Amino acid sequence: MNLTLQVWRQAGPDAPGKFVTYEATDISEDASFLEMLDIVNERLTDDGDEPIEFSHDCREGICGTCGVMINGIPHGPQRGTATCQLHMRTFSDGDEIVIEPWRASGFPIIRDLVVDRSPFDEIIQSGGYVTVDTGQAQDANLTPIPKETADLAMDAAACIGCGACVAACPNGAAQLFTSAKLAHLNLLPQGQAERDERTESMVEVMESYFGSCTNMGECETACPKEISIDFIAMMNADYAKAKFRNRRSA
């Protein structure tokens, strides 16, 4: 298949950016989106041009490193799919595809399609630690956990931290990411000791970088793991309780 790409090129954070047109010819419909960009970059390199910078790592929808806006949609038109899992058969021969980086003030552009997602790291780091014994591992059934709770915690832990939720949100909010990271610890017994401190700290670091949630729901739609916005409601309730309890104990 033959495609026309409109790719955002930007030499650095402070450099002006623009869309540049590239022709992607003889692309297999079985190629992934990132493999298609690899082919384009090989041809650019052969011609002595600068390849397109984009982020990637595992290419299995696990690491969360990949992620671009494809025709205005985070990760592209296929729901529940990371950019690395998107195949070219999703498109048609002759299509024009617009590719640009995440557009959010909390994710400043580094170069081309690469953005700085270190604010996510700072949110995680602000959560501190989980109190657990460091000796011999306990028996798996020693602490009973209702299956519904365990399943919900696993649903939250599915978040890969790609940032699609922020890119999709009209407010550039990171509530879905933060609430998922909080829930998979706050729901389980091991996370109870630091629950209030963790919640308050992570939410306030999040708010220092990202916008406010107004329940638009775009984040859930864009999430490649289809994480529910119900976790945001859980986080808000936990945050209100944490502020009350932490104020009383101060």
Instruction: Give residue 247's pLDDT.
Output: 72
- As a whole number of angstroms, the distance between CA 136 and CA 63 comes to 29
3-class SS of residue 114: strand
**Residue 193 confidence (pLDDT):** 87
User: According to the model, what pLDDT value does residue 249 have?
Assistant: 61
Nearest Cα neighbor of 225 from 170, 189, 187, 184 is 184
Q: Pull the structure tokens for residue 154.
A: 């696993």
Bridge-based pairing of strands 114-115 and 69-70 is unpaired
- Please give the pLDDT value at position 223: 98
User: What pLDDT was estimated at residue 129?
Assistant: 74
What pLDDT shows up at residue 9? 98
The whole-model pTM stands at: 0.92
SS3 of the chain: helix, strand, coil, percent, to 5: 40, 15, 45
Sign of CA dihedral 210, 215, 221, 226: positive
Q: Hey, what CATH class is 3-110 in?
A: alpha beta
| pLDDT per 10-residue tile (average), the chain, 250 residues | 98 96 97 98 98 96 96 97 97 98 96 98 89 67 86 96 97 98 92 92 97 95 97 97 77
Q: Where are the domains of the chain?
A: 3-110, 118-249
| Cα torsion through 133, 194, 160, 69, rounded to 10 | -160
- pLDDT at residue number 17: 97
Q: How distant, in Å, are the alpha carbons of 25, 44, 66, 88 from that of 28?
A: 9, 18, 20, 7
3-class secondary structure per residue, 173-228: ECHHHHHHHHHHHHCCHHHCCCHHHHHHHHHHHHHHHCECCCCCCHHHHHCCCCCC
Q: What is the architecture of the domain spanning 118-249?
A: Orthogonal Bundle (1.10)
pLDDT at 250: 55
